[in-house]
């Protein structure tokens, strides 16, 4: 259970998050939508402690995350970065199995490799990519390797920053199903950022829209279409005209 | 008011400098504290030993050889002005071992190793690989900084030792081949003249310079700004800082070892 209470973040004078309140229940799939540059990635990074919020609280199971033990905290999370963030000095399989090759979750090398290849298969990649380096892959393949890395250690809470961006429609479908599966079968809590409305409908239990530094609307995905909120309507129908300015 | 402006600017610059020194010191202390806290990344350490030590040998060897040779020529022609040509072996040995060996190797390491560490870590930073490390429960200071700094501190003295020997060999080659010294005499003069403290100070300087070179690479890499420009700036600043600090440290160490 993750709870964000009045979260603020500014970079210099630039206010990005201006009082975000949001809670995500255990085992729930929350999708964050919102215009480009509204601070969705910043929000995820704040929760993980990669960016320090200016003010506000982040609670995990009721405990302030600043006070919990960092290693134990991070061991519960997996994260797919928007840009993939693969380690370019390591081959694909060592990227995927990174956590399984060192630290508290360390396994024998062969076993870690087998798990990596299995996770690659789940994101639609053949075993022969395992020994390539990230620079030898296409953008969409890199994204999927990042996804495989995020789920490799089977974390309880997984953040996906635009998991289907740059993928073909079929592969996007595969990834949507995978994320859904991880939530329903493994009981993981997921927070996904996406601009792809098909993806939203396929993945989400709940949707939250970030706009102007606050959560403009949040609710179950079924209510998204008749929320009556002009901002949300404009966004999900992709209209150029409406309360959200096109130039930001 | 206006009269005070230069003073204010000076004060500001000094405060900035002190703040920077503080930041580097904190960075170094945090990195060093990981020496005693497991886990240790042995593979990264071994890789750094190779990258910093082994692969620097060619450039270190060439630099030392040519410098030793040039030194022999200079001392010969300079010494000729007061009929002191015979001291070439001794002065080459002292010059190489005490000063030029460590300083040149240090500067070559700053050029070769500091820049590559800074560029690599800065690129990792701007492509979010450092963030990814953190989310994968891996401390970047432990995984990236410590192996590099430790490897450099241990292996640069070795490089300096090798540089010293090759530098003396460069002097020997020129002395014997071009200046007509007797090989046996040249060698005997070199070996008999050098003292243990000359060599130990040389290696100690190497350790300090290795530490500075790797630490500056890591510090500027980790604190890189955004984008390609950020990487470029981090790399440039790291080499500048490493070179200046190495020369400053050399002055201090020389004072410490030889002024008394
Ligand atoms: N490290 C940083 N320093 C300064 N500004 C930043 C930093 N990180 C993000 N920002 C700013 O914060 C704002 C939000 O960025 P963020 O990456 O969260 O957007 P986003 O909602 O994820 O957009 P997109 O959908 O395009 O990925 C942007 O205007 C960006 O310029
Ligand atoms: Mg983003």
The alpha carbon of A83 and the centre of ligand 1 are apart by a number of angstroms equal to 13
Please enumerate in sequence order all residues whose Cβ is within 8 A of that of A214, keeping only pairs 6 or more positions apart, or say none: A18, A19, A20, A21
> What is residue A228's predicted lDDT score, i.e. its pLDDT?
86
Q: Hey, whose CA ends up nearest to atom 30 of ligand 1?
A: A37
Q: What angle do CA A144, A145, A148 make, to 5 degrees?
A: 90
A66 CB neighbour count, 10 Å cutoff: 12
Q: Which residues of chain B have pLDDT under 50?
A: none
> What is residue A82's predicted lDDT score, i.e. its pLDDT?
92
> What is residue B260's predicted lDDT score, i.e. its pLDDT?
62
Do the strands A189-193 and A206-211 form a parallel or antiparallel pair, or are they unpaired?
unpaired
Which residues of chain A lie closer than 8 angstroms to B138, CB-CB? 98, 102-103
Helix axis angle for B115-126 and B227-258, nearest 10°, is: 150
Q: Is the CB of A41 under 6 A from ligand 1?
A: yes
Q: What is the DSSP string of chain A?
A: -EEEEEEEEEETTEEEEEEEEEEE-TT-EEEEE--TTSSHHHHHHHHHTSS--SEEEEEETTEETTTS-HHHHHHTEEEE-TT----TTS-HHHHHTGGGGSGGG---HHHHHHHHHHHHHHTT--GGGTTS-GGGS-HHHHHHHHHHHHHTT--SEEEEESTTTT--HHHHHHHHHHHHHHHHHH--EEEEE-S-HHHHHHH-SEEEEEETTEEEEEEEGGGSTT---HHHHHHHHT-SSSSS-S--
pLDDT per residue over B134-161, tens digit each? 999 999 999 999 999 999 999 999 999 9
In angstroms, the separation between the Cα of residue A153 and the nearest Cα of chain B is 9
Please enumerate in sequence order all residues whose Cβ is within 8 A of that of B160, keeping only pairs 6 or more positions apart, or say none: B101, B102, B105, B106, B202, B203, B205, B206, B209
For a ligand 1 pocket test, name from A10, A12, A35, A40 the mutation site with the most ligand atoms within 8 angstroms of its C-beta: A40
Q: How far apart are CA B13 and CA A47, in angstroms?
A: 36
> What is residue A248's predicted lDDT score, i.e. its pLDDT?
62
Q: How far apart are CA A132 and CA A142, in angstroms?
A: 11
Q: Hey, whose CA ends up nearest to atom 29 of ligand 1?
A: A37
Largest CA distance in chain B: 72
Do the strands A29-33 and A206-211 form a parallel or antiparallel pair, or are they unpaired?
parallel
Q: Hey, whose CA ends up nearest to atom 14 of ligand 1?
A: A39
Please enumerate in sequence order all residues whose Cβ is within 8 A of that of B22, keeping only pairs 6 or more positions apart, or say none: none
Q: Is the CB of A36 under 6 A from ligand 1?
A: yes
Domain parsing of chain B, residue ranges: 39-255
What is the predicted ipTM?
Answer: 0.91
Helix axis angle for B101-109 and B227-258, nearest 10°, is: 170
Q: Enumerate the β-bridge partners of residue B216.
A: none
> What is residue A203's predicted lDDT score, i.e. its pLDDT?
93
The alpha carbon of A53 and the centre of ligand 1 are apart by a number of angstroms equal to 13
Q: Enumerate the β-bridge partners of residue A60.
A: A2, A63
pTM: 0.90
Q: What are phi and psi of B202, to 5 degrees?
A: -60, -45
Which residues of chain A lie closer than 8 angstroms to B135, CB-CB? 48, 50, 74, 77-79
Q: Which residues of chain A have pLDDT under 70?
A: 247-248
Q: How far apart are CA B25 and CA A70, in angstroms?
A: 24
Q: How far apart are CA B188 and CA B103, in angstroms?
A: 25
Q: Is omega for the bond preceding B241 within 30 degrees of 0, making it cis?
A: no
B124 to chain A: closest CA residue: A87
Helix axis angle for A139-151 and A169-186, nearest 10°, is: 0
Sheet containing A14-24: order of strands: A14-24, A2-11, A55-60, A63-64
A103 to chain B: closest CA residue: B39
> What is residue A9's predicted lDDT score, i.e. its pLDDT?
96
């Amino acid at each position: 259970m993750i709870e964000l209470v009045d979260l603020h973040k500014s970079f210099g004078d630039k206010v990005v998050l201006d009082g975000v309140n949001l809670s995500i229940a255990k085992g729930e799939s929350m999708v964050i939508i919102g215009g480009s540059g509204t601070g969705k990635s910043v929000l995820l990074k704040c929760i993980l402690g990669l960016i320090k919020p200016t003010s506000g609280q982040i609670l995990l199971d009721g405990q302030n995350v600043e006070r919990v033990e960092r290693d134990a905290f991070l061991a519960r999370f997996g994260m797919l970065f928007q840009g993939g963030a693969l380690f370019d000095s390591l081959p694909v399989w060592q990227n995927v199995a990174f956590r399984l090759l060192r630290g508290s979750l360390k396994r024998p090398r062969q076993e870690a490799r087998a798990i990596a290849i299995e996770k690659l298969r789940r994101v639609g990649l053949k075993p022969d990519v395992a020994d390539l380096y990230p620079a030898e892959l296409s953008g969409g393949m890199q994204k999927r390797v990042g996804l495989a890395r995020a789920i490799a250690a089977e974390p309880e809470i997984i953040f996906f920053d635009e998991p289907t961006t740059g993928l073909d429609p079929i592969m996007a479908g595969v990834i949507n199903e995978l994320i859904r599966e991880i939530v329903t079968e493994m009981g993981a809590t997921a927070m996904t950022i996406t601009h792809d409305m098909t993806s939203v409908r396929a993945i989400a239990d709940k949707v939250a829209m970030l706009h102007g530094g606050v959560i403009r609307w949040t609710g179950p995905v079924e209510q998204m279409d008749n929320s009556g909120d002009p901002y949300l309507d404009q966004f999900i129908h992709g209209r150029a005209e409406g309360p959200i300015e096109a130039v930001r | 008011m206006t009269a005070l402006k230069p003073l204010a600017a000076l004060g500001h610059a000094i405060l900035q400098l002190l703040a920077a020194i503080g930041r580097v010191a904190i960075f170094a202390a945090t990195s060093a504290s990981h020496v005693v806290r497991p886990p240790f990344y042995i593979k990264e350490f071994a890789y750094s030993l190779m990258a910093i030590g082994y692969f620097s040998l060619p450039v270190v060897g060439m630099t030392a050889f040519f410098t030793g040779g040039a030194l022999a020529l200079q001392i010969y022609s300079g010494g000729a002005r007061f009929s002191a040509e015979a001291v070439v072996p001794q002065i080459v040995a002292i010059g190489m071992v005490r000063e030029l060996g460590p300083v040149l190797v240090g500067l070559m390491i700053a050029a070769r190793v500091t820049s590559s560490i800074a560029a690599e870590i800065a690129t990792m930073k701007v492509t979010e690989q450092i963030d990814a490390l953190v989310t994968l429960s891996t401390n970047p200071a432990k995984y990236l900084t410590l192996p590099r700094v430790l490897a450099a501190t241990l292996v640069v003295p070795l490089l300096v030792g090798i540089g010293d020997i090759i530098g003396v060999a460069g002097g020997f080659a020129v002395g014997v081949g071009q200046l007509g010294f007797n090989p046996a005499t040249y060698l005997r003069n070199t070996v008999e003249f050098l003292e243990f403290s000359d060599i130990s100070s040389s290696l100690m300087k190497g350790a300090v310079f290795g530490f500075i070179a790797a630490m500056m690479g890591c510090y500027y890499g980790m604190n890189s700004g955004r984008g390609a420009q950020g990487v470029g700036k981090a790399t440039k600043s790291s080499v500048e800082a490493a070179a200046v600090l190495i020369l400053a440290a050399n002055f201090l160490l020389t004072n410490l070892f030889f002024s008394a």
